[in-house]
Structure 1
Amino acid sequence: MPYHKDKQQSFQAAQQGTNEAFHLYENIDKSGADYGLQLKHLKEEVNEAYQQINNALENASETQRHRLEQYQRDLQKIVNDVNESSE
């Protein structure tokens, strides 16, 4: 049972981390005075979410694996958008 619990907890952590990164991304104020600070926080959250996803992938079920891979693609879209807007 501990293995299943760990698997579920790691998946939920990855899910939560991804959701937090998206929340920050959706609420970033590109014209605000603290845009740089917001961007730094977003990058930290994205990196943390990637780490959580990689940890969860180590023992994920097949269904979880597909969802985690989608999270990775979603996070990559954020990274690409941020990189394009800062060029």
Structure 2
Amino acid sequence: MPYNKDKQQSFQAAQQGAEEAFDVYDNLVKDGADYGHQLKHLAEEVNEAYQQINNALENASETQRNRLEQYQRDLQQIVQEVNQTEQ
């Protein structure tokens, strides 16, 4: 039972971390005065989400693994879009 509980908790932490990163990205104001600060915050959220996802992948069920891998792809898309905007 503790193993399943840990698996669920790590998945939920990863899910929450990814959603927080998505929220920060969605609220990014590209022409705002604090854009640099927002980007730094976004980078922190994305990095934290990646860590949580990697931790959750260690013991995820197949269904959870598919969702976690989708979160990774979505976060990578955010990183690519921000990098393109910065060029």
**Gap regions ≥5 residues in structure 2:** none
1:7-46 → structure 2 map (5 Å cutoff): 7-46=7-46
1:1-87 → structure 2 map (5 Å cutoff): 1-87=1-87
Deviations along 1:4-42, whole A, 9 cap, x unmatched?
Answer: 000000000000000000000000111011000000000
**Superposed displacement of residue 85, structure 1:** 0.2
**Gap regions ≥5 residues in structure 1:** none
Percent same amino acid among aligned pairs?
78
Secondary structure of 1:46 counterpart: helix
Q: Taking structure 2 as the reference length, what is the TM-score of the superposition?
A: 0.99
Give the total of aligned pairs: 87
**RMSD (CA atoms):** 0.3
